[in-house]
């Protein structure tokens, strides 16, 4: 009989711990709800804004100022835009201007505002085996394609991947025809780690590279500063007239928050203490 | 190797200094996993007993389906649940996507077949004669079940341990239906994935030690309960 008691004790512990935890997590929102009812706001964004740590700085400020609880879903820009098209997110923070135009044209998203920019860079092994340092972007891509040094692509329809395909297109090369072209299908951080392990080249946004440089042995910037490498971020709200259950007020408040002067100065300062240079630059319309 | 030591050191630091975020993530992981395995046990063990002892048409097909379910890839479960829970999906009104409840749902779906399947196997293995004898000796229904539970104790615990392992290890579905939202649906496995993608291998390792530590303690307790000698 003793083990029956033990078993039931175990079961009781499970139930108690479950209910105790759920109480503790639920108590937080209700305390705040005493003043204003908090509503959930789903933000679909790119991995770069989360992985660089920018959102960890901005979101607590937004949540303390406005009665919204932001649920951040950090995915590639392609998936974030798809979530917008399906009405699964309330507000989007993405970086693929051409793809964004489509979702604006289809009226799935409205109120698109420019927020900030940084730039894409091509990183590669310190010794630069394909010798692309100092070349313009197109020339660099051509050189990598004709060498057998691997080029590591995101391959995940993200903003960075879209930009990369645009560069290949400009150079007039079909990346699938390049034998040393590798698609990871993963986020920027993982892709950079693979580039570092395989001694290959990769296109990355500057913020993610700077934030992770310490873990990327032997990778350094080999091509930068070209006008085509500009990386522009826009924020937009999903159209409540086209989709159900959109938290439209929250989305509008978030767009306003992101373009506010105070937020812009936080963005401009972000990363300077840690990396010695800013990761994003203020860039409103 | 330095990284391993560094990770271990960091895991200790996180626990000793009581890093509130780590505590919160750990507690949430426990809450979600325990709730999921508890639901799986409450449904799976009775269902397994029923499937093991009774005979009815369609029972074999059901067993085949359960056995297939044991190998159901969590990401597949995650994908289906995501589509069901979308705002535009059939269960969109419940607003469950990106909540801990959604993770629990996914974990129940992947662990329930394991608990049910292994329990039913145990009951199918019981000797027919034993069942007859217990009945012949005039056992009441409750006594009958207590004796059978004692007979199958080892296997039922094995079913719980296997189900619990599946729940604790699950990451694909938790990422998809939970969204790894800070302070809401971030659990140990999803934070490990995120920290790795951020390049924070030391933090990821520290979290992995915490996850392994928890899994060890729980499995140890369950195995200890399972292996206790019978006292008559």
Per-residue pLDDT at B21: 87
User: Within the 225-264 window of chain A, which residues sit less than 8 Å (CB to CB) from chain B?
Assistant: 243-245
Between B27, B179, B225, which is nearest A71 by CB?
B179
> Do A212 and B198 make contact, defined as CB atoms within 8 angstroms?
yes
Per-residue pLDDT at B231: 55
Residues of B with CB under 8 A from a CB of A: 27-28, 30-31, 34-35, 37-38, 41, 86-88, 92, 95, 97-98, 100, 146, 149, 153, 179-182, 184, 196-201, 221, 225, 228, 230-231
**CA angle at A126 for the pair A130 and B3, rounded to the nearest 5°:** 130
ipTM, 2 dp: 0.77
Instruction: Calculate how close chain B gets to A70, using CA atoms only, in Å.
Output: 9
User: Is B181 inside a domain boundary?
Assistant: yes
Range of the domain at B83: 24-185
Listed in sequence order, the residues at least 6 apart from A13 whose beta carbon sits closer than 8 Å to its beta carbon are none
- Residues A112-130 pLDDT 10s: 999 999 999 999 999 999 9
Per-residue pLDDT at A19: 46
User: Is B155 inside a domain boundary?
Assistant: yes
Cβ atoms of residues A227 and A179 within 8 Å: no
Does the domain spanning A37-117+232-282 belong to CATH 1.25.40.10?
Answer: no
> Do A47 and B30 make contact, defined as CB atoms within 8 angstroms?
no
Nearest CA in chain A to B218: A10
Per-residue pLDDT at B13: 82
Chain A to chain B Cβ contacts (< 8 Å): 89
Q: What residue ranges do the domains of chain A occupy?
A: 37-117+232-282, 118-229
Per-residue pLDDT at A37: 83
CA nearest to A143, candidates A160, A129, A153:
A129
Q: Which residues does chain B have with pLDDT short of 70?
A: 1, 230-232
> Do B95 and A40 make contact, defined as CB atoms within 8 angstroms?
yes
> Do B181 and A73 make contact, defined as CB atoms within 8 angstroms?
yes
Give the CATH number for residue B123.
1.10.3720.10
Nearest CA in chain A to B3: A215
Q: Which residue has the tokens 């649940």?
A: B81
Q: Tell whether A82 is within 8 A of chain B (Cβ).
A: no
What whole-number distance in Å separates Cα of residue B65 and Cα of residue B60? 9
Cβ atoms of residues B86 and B166 within 8 Å: no
Per-residue pLDDT at A217: 83
CA nearest to A281, candidates A159, A121, A118, A160:
A118
Q: Which residues does chain A have with pLDDT short of 70?
A: 1-35
Q: Tell whether A3 is within 8 A of chain B (Cβ).
A: yes
- Residues A122-174 pLDDT 10s: 999 999 999 999 888 999 999 999 999 999 999 988 999 999 999 999 999 99
DSSP 8-state secondary structure symbol assigned to residue B228: P
CATH H-level, domain A118-229: superfamily: Periplasmic binding protein-like II (3.40.190.10)
User: Is B44 inside a domain boundary?
Assistant: yes
Cβ atoms of residues A223 and A122 within 8 Å: yes
Q: How many domains does chain B have?
A: 1
């Amino acid at each position: 009989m003793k083990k029956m008691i033990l078993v039931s004790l175990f079961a009781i512990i499970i139930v108690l711990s479950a209910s105790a935890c759920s109480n503790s997590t639920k108590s937080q929102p209700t305390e705040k709800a005493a003043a204003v009812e908090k509503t959930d706001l789903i933000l679909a964004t790119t991995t770069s804004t989360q992985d660089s740590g920018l959102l960890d700085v901005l979101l607590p400020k937004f949540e303390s100022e406005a009665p919204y609880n932001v649920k951040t879903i950090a995915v590639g820009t392609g998936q974030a835009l798809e979530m917008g098209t399906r009405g699964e997110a309330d507000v989007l923070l993405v970086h693929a201007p051409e793809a964004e135009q489509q979702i604006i044209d289809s009226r799935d998203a409205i109120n698109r505002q420019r927020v900030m920019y940084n730039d894409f860079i091509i990183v590669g092994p310190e010794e630069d085996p394909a010798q692309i340092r100092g070349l313009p972007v197109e020339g660099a891509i051509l050189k990598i394609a004709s060498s057998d040094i691997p080029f590591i692509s995101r391959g995940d329809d993200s903003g960075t991947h879209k930009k990369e395909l645009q560069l290949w297109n400009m150079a007039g090369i079909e990346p699938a025809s390049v034998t040393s072209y590798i698609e990871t299908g993963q986020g920027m951080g993982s892709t950079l780690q693979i580039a570092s392990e395989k001694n290959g080249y990769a296109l990355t946004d500057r913020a993610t590279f700077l934030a992770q440089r310490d873990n990327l042995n032997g990778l350094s910037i080999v091509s930068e500063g070209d006008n085509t490498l500009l990386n522009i971020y826009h924020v937009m709200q999903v159209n409540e007239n086209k989709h159900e259950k959109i938290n439209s007020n929250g989305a509008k408040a978030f767009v306003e928050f992101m373009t506010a002067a105070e937020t812009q100065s936080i963005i401009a300062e972000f990363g300077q203490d840690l990396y010695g240079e800013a990761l994003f630059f203020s860039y409103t319309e | 190797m330095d990284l391993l030591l560094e990770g271990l050191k960091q895991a200790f630091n996180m626990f000793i200094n009581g890093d509130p975020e780590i505590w919160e993530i750990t507690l949430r992981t426990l809450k979600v996993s325990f709730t999921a395995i508890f639901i799986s046990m409450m449904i799976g063990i009775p269902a397994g007993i029923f499937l093991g002892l009774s005979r009815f048409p369609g029972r074999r097909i059901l067993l085949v389906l359960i056995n297939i379910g044991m190998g159901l890839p969590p990401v597949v479960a995650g994908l289906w649940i995501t589509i069901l829970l979308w705002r535009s999906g059939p269960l969109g009104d419940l607003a469950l996507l990106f909540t801990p409840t959604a993770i629990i749902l996914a974990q129940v779906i992947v662990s329930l077949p394991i608990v049910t399947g292994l329990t039913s196997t145990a009951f199918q293995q019981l000797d027919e004669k034993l069942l007859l004898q217990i009945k012949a000796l005039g056992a009441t229904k409750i006594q009958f079940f207590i004796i059978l539970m004692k007979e199958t104790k080892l296997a039922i615990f094995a079913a719980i341990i296997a189900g619990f392992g599946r729940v604790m290890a699950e990451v694909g579905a938790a990422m998809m239906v939970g969204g790894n939202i800070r302070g809401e649906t971030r659990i140990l496995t999803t934070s490990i994935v995120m920290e790795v993608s951020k390049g924070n291998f030391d933090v990821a390792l520290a979290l992995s030690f915490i996850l392994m530590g928890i899994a060890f303690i729980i499995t140890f307790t369950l195995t200890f309960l399972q292996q206790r000698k019978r006292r008559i």
